[in-house]
Amino acid sequence: MTSTTETSQRRHARSGRIRGRAWIAASYVIAALVAMPVLALLWQASRGSAGLWSHLAAHVLPHAISQTVTLLLGVGVLVALIGTTSAWLVTAYDFPGRRMLEWALLLPLAVPTYIIAYAYLDLLHPLGPVQGAVRAVLGYDSPRQFRLPDIRSMAGAILLLSFVLYPYVYLPVRAMFQTQAANLIEAARTLGTSRSAIFRQVALPLARPAIAVGVSLALMETLNDIGASEFLGVRTLTISIYTTWVTRSDLPGAAQISLAMLIMVVLLVSLERWARRRQRYAANAQRDRSFAPQQLTGRWALLALLLGATPVLLGFLVPGGYLAVEAWKRFHFAGLSESLFTEARNTFLLSAIATIAVLASGLAVAYAARAFPRRGLLIAQRVATLGYAMPGTVLALGILIWVAGLDRFIDQSAREFLGRSTGLLLIGSGVALGYAYLARFLAISVGSIEAGFSRIPLSYDHAARTLGQGVSGSMWRVHLPLSRGAVAAAGLLVFVDCMKELSATLLLRPLNFETLATHLYGEAARGTYEDAAMAALAIVLVGLLPVILLARSGPSRRDSV
């Protein structure tokens, strides 16, 4: 009997070690999958001739880099200004409508950048409703007599992108304003410092790390954009990669431009970390309190409401209202087309499958790093989250290079051993596109699940092991149930991001496979805006889901001093 018990215990221990190795192996494999596109880009770029690189360096890169840097500088300054002032307005002042503005200022997050460009291009067209109304008021009959400046310009791109991306700054800065130490604010007020001086000398320096993080996220989204930049006539590095690859059929050249873009991404991340390298904060007993907002009345209250509502109006209400009106016109005229249902089904199924894969991979990476806190696994976790910093076009190109090679290998093997051709098995079936979603959005899953795990004390792990649960048993019976809220939130964010993703979808989708995003891009490129309104409205409505989640889970108003 004793021998049987010892044999069972050894078998159980060996099974536990095997499961533990499986978690470790899965984490390393996932990290390798994320790193492969970068390695493929390096390999493909090295195949380009010196003459090709010199041509790109002389004729393509200077203009593309200058356009990209100008766009990044303009968007960075404007989102920092709009996001920070909006956050201070709803935190430091109390006026009618403030509570509504606190969550309404998040609404532009539901509008992808390419959709706001699509909407305003039609709204501000010389023959569109805005310029028509202006000419009617001024007494002009023709666009030749009077027309507003063309929205297709660098200034137009900076303005439109900023009014969509400023919530990336508003959200962390508002959280910082609401949770910073109240005694510092009270000390400044006791010394007779005005509210504006408190903002400049106390609140703003404390919020600089949050501003840096928010601006860096907004700039990452700007680099990833392909639709808005192309619609608005701004030739960024992303557009140059797309045209070099698709139009000129120059894959090595596109890979070389992609590497230049990756260098810019690394510089952005390094600049953000350098900007907050010396920021330190002291904990104190009053850290959960915020200072009392100043009550505004009369014209000052009205002015505050107008200032706070302007970003919401331009970033969400105007384009959202336009899409709703155009979608109703289209529905009233022609109803719902069958192709729209097909594209909606394609979008939903693809996003759902990708979300499941991203959540499973994020769970494996986050749990392996918790259960086996080794240096190698921590490095693998960092590598696995790098995809979110890579623009979708760059990631798609890297995936295409090595997945196409794998497709060729599978096809040759099938021809040799089975006598049949598999064709583009991975690219043609959509696996490559799902892979792009996995690599790009894995950081969201890992970050959210890791945050959920961090709230579970390590004593729970030890208790589960004491009760005979192995590594996998602890995860399924302890960690996953306790962190299901974080997993659900990550799933929602990943699903919506997959639905909105345009760059990777446009470049890796199978033939004759359309999603709502690619349908909108195609119609806007042809100038048939009314045919894309319903697809755009559907994307915006689904995009409201994570905004509602953020509004409900955002930092609540603390006790006032």
- Cβ atoms of 315 and 164 closer than 8 Å: yes
Please return the burial class of 214, using the count of CB atoms within 10 Å of its CB with bins 0-12, 13-18 and 19+.
buried
The reported pLDDT for the residue numbered 282 is 45
How many CB atoms neighbour CB 492 within 10 A?
A: 17
Lowest-confidence segment of 52-66, 476-490, 504-518 by average pLDDT: 52-66
Average pLDDT over every residue of 412-431: 85
The overall pTM is greater than 0.85? no
Whole-angstrom Cα distance, residue 453 to residue 483? 6
- Cβ atoms of 105 and 308 closer than 8 Å: yes
* Residue 192 region by backbone torsions, left for phi larger than 0, else alpha for psi between -120 and 50, else beta: left
DSSP 509-526: PPTT---HHHHHHHHHHH
Instruction: Specify which of 235-244, 290-299, 348-357, 375-384 reaches the highest per-range mean pLDDT.
Output: 348-357
User: How sure is the predictor about 338, in pLDDT bands with cuts at 50, 70 and 90?
Assistant: confident
What the block records as the tokens of 433 is 């596109």
Average pLDDT over every residue of 372-390: 81
Average pLDDT over every residue of 234-241: 84
The reported pLDDT for the residue numbered 316 is 92
Among 450, 436, 444, CA closest to 493: 444
How many CB atoms neighbour CB 160 within 10 A?
A: 25
User: How sure is the predictor about 48, in pLDDT bands with cuts at 50, 70 and 90?
Assistant: low
Whole-angstrom Cα distance, residue 322 to residue 312? 14
- Cβ atoms of 183 and 287 closer than 8 Å: no
Whole-angstrom Cα distance, residue 115 to residue 123? 12
Please determine, for residue 52, whether its predicted confidence score (pLDDT) is greater than 60: yes
Residue with tokens 């190795």: 21
- Cβ atoms of 284 and 179 closer than 8 Å: no
Instruction: Specify which of 154-163, 192-201, 289-298, 458-467 reaches the highest per-range mean pLDDT.
Output: 154-163
Average pLDDT over every residue of 302-326: 90
Average pLDDT over every residue of 1-11: 50
Please determine, for residue 78, whether its predicted confidence score (pLDDT) is greater than 90: yes
- Residue 138, CA distances (Å) to 122, 128, 130, 175, 316 in order: 21, 16, 13, 45, 28
- Which residues 6+ apart lie within 8 Å of 506 measured at CB? 226, 517, 518, 521
Please determine, for residue 22, whether its predicted confidence score (pLDDT) is greater than 90: no
First to last CA, the chain: 70
Q: Which residue has the higher pLDDT, 163 or 188?
A: 163
Q: How far is CA 197 from the centre of its chain?
A: 34
User: How sure is the predictor about 245, in pLDDT bands with cuts at 50, 70 and 90?
Assistant: confident
Q: Which residue has the higher pLDDT, 541 or 147?
A: 541
Whole-angstrom Cα distance, residue 175 to residue 90? 11
Instruction: Specify which of 78-87, 175-184, 401-410 reaches the highest per-range mean pLDDT.
Output: 78-87
Residue-wise pLDDT tens digits, 260-293 = 788 877 777 676 666 655 555 444 444 445 557 7
The reported pLDDT for the residue numbered 180 is 62
Please determine, for residue 20, whether its predicted confidence score (pLDDT) is greater than 90: no
Residues in the chain: 561
Whole-angstrom Cα distance, residue 73 to residue 558? 35
Burial 38-47 (b: 16+ CB within 10 A, else e): bebbeebbee
Provide the pairing of β-strand 93-94 with 294-295: parallel
Among 227, 235, 256, 253, CA closest to 68: 235
Please determine, for residue 556, whether its predicted confidence score (pLDDT) is greater than 60: no
The reported pLDDT for the residue numbered 325 is 87
Residue-wise pLDDT tens digits, 476-490 = 878 778 888 888 888
The reported pLDDT for the residue numbered 94 is 86
Please determine, for residue 173, whether its predicted confidence score (pLDDT) is greater than 50: yes
User: How sure is the predictor about 143, in pLDDT bands with cuts at 50, 70 and 90?
Assistant: confident
- Cβ atoms of 208 and 275 closer than 8 Å: yes
Whole-angstrom Cα distance, residue 207 to residue 144? 48
User: How sure is the predictor about 557, in pLDDT bands with cuts at 50, 70 and 90?
Assistant: very low
Give the whole-number percent of the chain exceeding pLDDT 90: 10
Whole-angstrom Cα distance, residue 104 to residue 166? 13
3-state SS record for 119-179 = HHHHHCCCCCHHHHHHHHHHCCCCCCCCCCCCCCCHHHHHHHHHHHHCHHHHHHHHHHHHH
The reported pLDDT for the residue numbered 312 is 92
Burial 88-116 (b: 16+ CB within 10 A, else e): bbbbbbbbebbeebbbbbbbbbbbbbbbb
DSSP 384-426: HTGGGGS-HHHHHHHHHHHHHHHHHHHHHHHHHHTS----SHH
Mean pLDDT of the chain: 80
Residue-wise pLDDT tens digits, 447-459 = 888 877 777 787 7
Average pLDDT over every residue of 27-51: 81
Question: Which residue ranges make up each domain of the chain?
Answer: 23-279+329-553
The reported pLDDT for the residue numbered 171 is 85
Among 273, 276, 506, 482, CA closest to 397: 506
Q: Which CATH architecture has domain 23-279+329-553?
A: Orthogonal Bundle (1.10)
DSSP 432-447: HHHHHHHHHHHHHHHH
Q: How far is CA 269 from the centre of its chain?
A: 15
